[in-house]
Amino acid sequence: MINYLIRRTITAVFTLFVISIISFVIIQLPEGDVVDQYVQNRTADRTILSDEDLAEMRETLGLNNPAIIQWWDWLVPVVTKGNLGQSYVNHGWTGRGYTSIPVNYYIEEKLPFTIYLSLFTMIITWAFAIPIGIYSAMRQHSMGDYIFTFLGFTGLAIPDFLLAIVLMYVFFAYFDLSVGGLFSGDYLDAPWSISRVADMLQHLIIPGLVLGTSGTAGLIRVMRNNLLDELTKPYVVTARSKGLSSWKVVVKYPVRLAINPFISGIGAMLPALVSGSIIVSIVLSLPTLGPIFLEATMTQDGPLAGAIVLLLAVLTVLGTLISDITLVLVDPRIKLTGSGTGSSSAT
């Protein structure tokens, strides 16, 4: 296990290094730079900046340096000090210098709520997908199976933002529940307490249901199909022939094997929930990284957008590592092999 973790750590570091290069290049592809965006905003305010001011801004921000130097100047503080640089989202030029907000401020402010939403959505997804998938497999071609199949495909077809708007109306009109944001007005800036946590959980219901709908629908089909494959295998037939209860056999053996795709999908689920909740976060006014990431890409805020892309890559690497180790614990057939990639494989 230790050797496996060492190999995976080395691979992860190299992967993140390559991703930092790719993400920086992609962010630099659009024409213009952050100064051009700033000029457009100031032009709308009827503020004219001189060529000397623009040249000084580019020099101060290091935009005149080659791209590889800009990337290196951004990466070194990230690795050595954990300093993600300065954001250009809320920036200004006072004539005496450039003012900006550290990227770390946005990450520290938005990341916890993004994690809360992601974990809550994952819990909802698994809580519905696993039992419904088991029921559909055990009651194949029954009325309940057809109903859940219909609801699953409906969940996949409805856009998340449209479902969010509908649920906002339903919860407000019929249940008199506050919608939008993660806190009520009384708890917005209040210190953490049991009441504030309860208020946040209440506000997490709508975004959790919206973001978990499509994932739940897909995982129900995965669980159903995998479990149907396991139910036809000889060890299940033998267990049933010995008189064991049907549900006991299913829960004890086939479910443990059919659940593998859920665990292996953790690596993709974590970053997908962060990046895929952008529109929903805007509709529901959620204080997550999604809207900030969208604004950063639109304003060509390289440090902030690059930091979020790098964060998504870290979540992917960590999620994949967690899923690999969990698979070994859940499924005794899987062993951590000594292959060059350090991946887990069934033996």
For residue 142, the domain's CATH number is: 1.10.3720.10
pLDDT of residue 331: 67
- Return d(Cα 256, Cα 233) in angstroms, integer: 14
CA distance 144 to 153: 14
The domain boundary, picked from 71, 103, 135, lies at 103
User: Domain range spanning residue 249?
Assistant: 105-346
Say yes or no: 85 and 198 in one domain. Answer: no
| pLDDT score, position 346 | 41
Residue 252: which pLDDT band, with cuts at 50, 70 and 90? confident
Between CA 206 and CA 203 the distance in angstroms is 7
Q: How many domains does the chain have?
A: 2
176 and 304 housed in the same domain: yes
The per-residue pLDDT for 347 is 42
Same domain, 88 and 210: no
Which band of pLDDT confidence, cut at 50, 70 and 90, is reported for residue 46?
A: low
Q: What is the pLDDT, as a whole number, of residue 227?
A: 85
Q: Which of 103, 136, 157 is the endpoint of a domain?
A: 103
Nearest CA among 243, 238, 267 for reference residue 254: 238
Shared domain check, 292 and 144: yes
Residues 127 and 222 in one domain: yes
- For residues 99 and 198, state if they share a domain: no
Q: How is residue 90 annotated by DSSP? A: E
Q: Are residues 118 and 220 in the same domain?
A: yes
Instruction: Identify the residue with better confidence: 198 or 329.
Output: 198
Domain C-terminal end among 88, 103, 118: 103
Region 281-288 average pLDDT: 82
* Residue range 288-306, pLDDT digits in tens: 888 888 888 777 777 788 8
Using the predicted structure, report yes or no on whether residue 309 has a pLDDT greater than 80. yes
Q: What is the DSSP letter of 335?
A: E
Using the structure block, give the residue that is written with the tokens 């056999």.
249
Highest mean pLDDT among 58-62, 229-233, 277-281: 229-233
Residues 185 and 299 in one domain: yes
Q: So what's the pLDDT on residue 340?
A: 42
- For residue 256, pLDDT over 70 is answered with yes
